[in-house]
Amino acid sequence: MVVPLAIGSASGHLDYGAFAALGAQPAGLVSFHGEARSRLTAVAVASVGMAASTFVGATTATAAPWLLVPFVIVLGYICGLTVCLGPRLSVATLQWAIALLVAVGVPLGPEAAGVRAGLVLAGGLFQGVLVAGSWVLRRGDAERETLASSYRALASYASDVAAGRSEPPPPIAFAAAAALEDPNPLLPASIQPVFLDLLEQAERIRASLAAMAAHTVDARRGEAEQLRSLSAEAAAVLGLIAVALSARRGRRAERMSDLSGGAAELAVAPDAGGRWAAEALFGQLRAVVGLVGRLDAVAMEAPPTAATRSTQPQAPGATAAVATLRANVNASSEAGRHALRLAVAAGLVEVLTQATGLRDGRWAVLTVFIVLKPDYNSTLYRSVQRAAGTMLGAGLGAAVAQLGHLGHGELIAAAGGVVAAAYALFDVSFLFYSVFLTTFIVLLLDMLGVPAVPTAGARAVDTAIGAALAIAAYVAWPTWEAVSARENFARLLELHGEYAAAVLRQLAYPGRSDAAQLRAIQVAARRARSDAEASAVRLSDEPSLAPLTPDLARALITSVRQVAHAELALHALAVSQDERERQSHEALTGDDADALDVLGASLATTMSALAVSLRTLQPPAAAARPVQAALKSQRGVNGTFRAATDGMVDAVGRLDALVRDRLVGPGPANGPAGSGRLPMAVDQAARG
């Protein structure tokens, strides 16, 4: 922001510098989202759209102000619909509407508006140049730091297991996953496989730790203490891994020496309970130590060639984005309903400002764009915070501009300081972000000749009006989480049923499915659990609406967590690298393998039936009531399988009871809920 302002001041065209800064500021906000190419793409999308909107806003305000109404409606629909693409692109398109409404405040003819639009584009693209410049300065640093963050999270989880807390790990992807899906384009291709191997080992370690936690719960007291001690050792080594990954180049050799020494002390007693899980975990830790040691041995100087660049992971392209948008262009989807609501609300507020001649009414319309969100809590929270922040920021901006009697240099320094504060507080407090951003805009408009005091007063009033109208629009056409959450929970049950079946099938028949396929199912199930937990949080912020109340959502989440914990423990066994140990202790005979596979299929069928019940609010089919009695009768199926599958089946029984009794009401059942009876066909198949 400061560079274009300084250039404009030095050249005698401060207004030009201010226009460029108006392009750089929103582009900088957009650059908070994404990693490498995706981040640059978002900045480019925002910059081009802002330039076009700036031209349209400035010329329309001069020639035919009422034409702003259809433009606002169209942009409202676009901004609302793009929420289905995630925050990166939705924030980028939001800047188009903001640029349109800011441009309205300084009406211009076509020629002058074209110059202004070009300057806005130049400011945005300058921000993009700075983003790309970071690729040269920090090759590999971002990837190393996100991997370090991922291993610190594992160390924290291992410490929880050592302390006796046996919850499954949180359903979030590792921080490194996004960075390695969209890596630095200048990162040598030779080092990318090492980073990806470190991420894969992190996934395996998470599953092994879940298996350790499951064994700790079921083990006798002495064995449980031993397992907790082993988990504490793993936590220490994981912490050293994080330190070695994030160390500066001059300290890496020292940190690597500490790590190697810590890993060398890892050992499992021959009589340790849950020995296979501990040995698998320690083997994975040793593999990670070797990978970390290889990082500095890989040449970091040479950029990737054209041939290797094509093999780098690519973010989802435009085709996928278009397909997602097309799928949401209807009122039945949450994004589609939000798009219609935002278009209508913004259009009506624009009509109101045009009809009443409200001074600087564009700020009311802009506030609707910023605060009206798809969910109740975000809309209410942002409305209050935006109104309060704008009032404070407008007052601060007016005071700085008028009472300080600042020259151009001082104004530029003040603008740079407040926008830096706004960026620093963006992820901390929306209230304080709004305060400093509003101050920056008031100062910038003052440089363009728009009086600061009247602008500040009008903006404060109009922002309060816009915030109130945004809340009214949501209340008039609400999108309650209790309705959309049912679909999130239905997907949660379906995907965890699919994951359970896939893991049990892999255990029953090793080699039938590859590790990548199993990992993909696991990631989908984890994402579904994350979405459902987010829905449960949003439900607690809304008025309680039957049938899916916050209490019921939390109860469903609790049961699914137990299913997820058992799945992770079994997944750890399925991908264990010590094949000899697995074969000697966990191999199944033909009948036992068939019984395990049938149990997985029955679990998937049950979870699918419960998902249908969530969607239709009808009782689940009576044929989908799996348990484990038949599996327990198989002599070859040992305690490792039984302990995990016992917990899984118990949790599915509770899910069945919750759906029947608290969501859809009692329906036909094959025995009492959770009674432990298999459907006849499943029971016969499991018994061979």
274-323: pLDDT as tens digits: 677 788 888 899 999 999 988 877 644 444 444 444 444 444 567 878 88
Q: Which residues contact 174 (CB under 8 A, 6 or more apart)?
A: 146, 149, 150, 153, 199, 202, 203
Which amino acid is residue 43, in one-letter code? V
Q: Which residues of the chain fall short of a pLDDT of 70? A: 217-222, 271-274, 298-317, 403-405, 452, 511-513, 576-592, 621-644, 664-688
Which amino acid is residue 79, in one-letter code? C
Q: Which residues contact 68 (CB under 8 A, 6 or more apart)?
A: 57, 60, 61, 100, 104, 350, 354
Q: Which of 328, 384, 300, 408 is nearest to 83 (CA)?
A: 328
> Mind giving me the DSSP string for 409-438?
HHHHHHHHHHHHHHHHTTTT-HHHHHHHHH
Which pLDDT value is given to residue 86?
86
Whole-prediction pTM: 0.78
- What is the C-alpha separation between 441 and 444, in angstroms, rounded? 5
Q: Which residues contact 272 (CB under 8 A, 6 or more apart)?
A: 223, 226, 227, 230, 278
Coil, strand or helix at 127: helix
Which pLDDT value is given to residue 281?
87
- What is the C-alpha separation between 81 and 41, in angstroms, rounded? 19
Which pLDDT value is given to residue 585?
46
514 phi and psi angles, rounded to 5 deg? -85, 165
- What is the C-alpha separation between 528 and 89, in angstroms, rounded? 21
